[in-house]
Amino acid sequence: MADNVVILAGGQGKRMKTSKPKVLLEVLGTPMLQWVIDACEEAGLSEICIVKGYEAEQIDSYIDGKYETVLQSERLGTGHAVMQAKAFLEKNIGSDTLILCGDAPFIDKATIENALKLHKSQGSAVTVVTSKIDDPKGYGRIVRNENGISGIVEHKDCTPEQLLINEINSGCYWFDTQALLSVLFELKPNNAQGEYYLTDCVELLLKKGRKATAYCSENPDVSLGANDRAGLLKLNDIARMNVINSHLDNGVEMTCLDGVIIGKYVKIGGGTHIKSGSQLFGRTTVGENCVIGPNTLLTDTTVGSDVSLNNVMATKSVVEDKASIGPWTQLRPDSYIKKGVKIGDFVEIKNSTIGERTAVAHLTYVGDSDVGANVNFGCGCVTVNFDAEHKYRTVIGDNAFIGCNTNLVAPVRVGNNAYTAAGSTIINDVPDGALAIERGTAVIKEDYGYRKLKARTEKFRKLSQDEK
């Protein structure tokens, strides 16, 4: 029987002032619940039951059927939450069960594995994961004895001697599943809050002559959670610096951390420089020796090596080696930028492939297009892809030259080595090697400007005289 996990995720977090379940609030762009799930899966624990409560349908939507869930319709304490997982526990009665808090995101693989190793080697009914902190005020203290621990004492109940203890309960436990079931429904709400406390299971097991141990994690943040927005900000600050330091250790350069945020799943190659104001989220991957930023936002984007991105926003896109993009460029989803491409200011690419060494210098929109290699776009070009009902693709061959202010009205194809004259609106395919010119005949109306602009000209003349 595989070891399993029960994650407590029913809390509302009233002080957060949010309509979300507390566990879905984010740390570095990832819900706290996902941090906990990731740690479990990294430790090889895939049999997971999530106890949901407040706005339970949001939990269901987030996990999308991947894990078992149970509903805690009333929030009556941690012990009560675990009671809702009775059927799940009975199904796994020959195993050990890990109990975790879904709003304590810094639980880690090593802590889970090492606590379980101690738990099994000691033959314990319960092993409490603990941590040592400088200021334990408000936390339950771990009271140890020669056989393991003799109990967990809440701060308000501590003796003066116990107040000096700095080893605290993290809220994470390994239980022998059968032992947990033997005491779980003996819990009583004998406290001011009228709640069922999971910590009381430790005392009940000790009274039955079972052994309780404590594993003190080397992770100083394992017990940290958040009860309000300030606490959530602190979690983000801690996670942000942990992630940044790991990248620094791997040879990533950062000379200023102002505004730099890097998500937990992001991978960055050595020699890359992340400049101020840059934020990388999702499954973004960046190669070696790149310059990212300043003020660049990448989400679920793959970037090759030797790439420069200056003031770029890219989402679900791919940028190959030696591309240079920006400033003020947007790559919308499904943009594929090939090797050596140059993209300049105020350019937007969407659902398009841009071929090797192509240049899109400035003030251009390329949407739903397949662009060949070594193409040059002049200033102010647009692929006109939408007719208010359907979207169509534009195809541009290798070595084509798209003149300034060209509109390519899709569906249309510009051939290899073809040329469009500046100011043209291309509605028909352009053959290989051809020049396309589509301009209306100029109509000159004499003195129209004098008449139309007379009032404006007079106003300017008067202002100029006044200034003299």
Q: pLDDT means per 10 residues in the chain (468 residues)?
A: 91 91 97 98 96 95 96 93 97 95 96 97 96 86 87 85 90 96 94 87 94 94 93 97 98 97 98 98 98 98 98 98 98 98 98 98 97 97 93 97 97 96 95 92 81 83 78
Domains, the chain, in order of start with CATH, read: 4-216 (3.90.550.10), 251-436 (2.160.10.10)
- Give the end-to-end CA distance of the chain in Å, rounded to a whole number: 94
Write the CB contacts of 376 (distance below 8 Å, at least 6 apart in sequence): 358, 359, 361, 400, 401, 402
Query: Is the bond preceding 327 in cis, omega lying within 30 degrees of 0?
Result: yes
pLDDT in tens, 211-231: 999 999 999 899 999 999 999
**pLDDT per position as a tens digit, 329-353:** 999 999 999 999 999 999 999 999 9
273 is annotated as an active-site residue: no
Contact indicator for 58, 24 with CB cutoff of 8 Å: yes
What is the DSSP track for 130-197? Answer: EEE-S--TTSPEEEEETTEEEEEE-GGG--HHHHT--EEEEEEEEEEHHHHHHHHTT----STT----
Give the tens place of pLDDT for each residue, 112-127. Answer: 999 999 999 999 999 9
Distances from the Cα of 209 to the Cαs of 179, 212, 288, in angstroms? Answer: 11, 9, 58
Is the separation of the CB atoms in 22 and 14 below 8 Å? no
Tell me how long the chain is.
468
Pairing of strands 369-371, 353-354: parallel
120 residue type, one letter: K
Exactly one of 119, 155, 273, 362 is catalytic; name it: 362
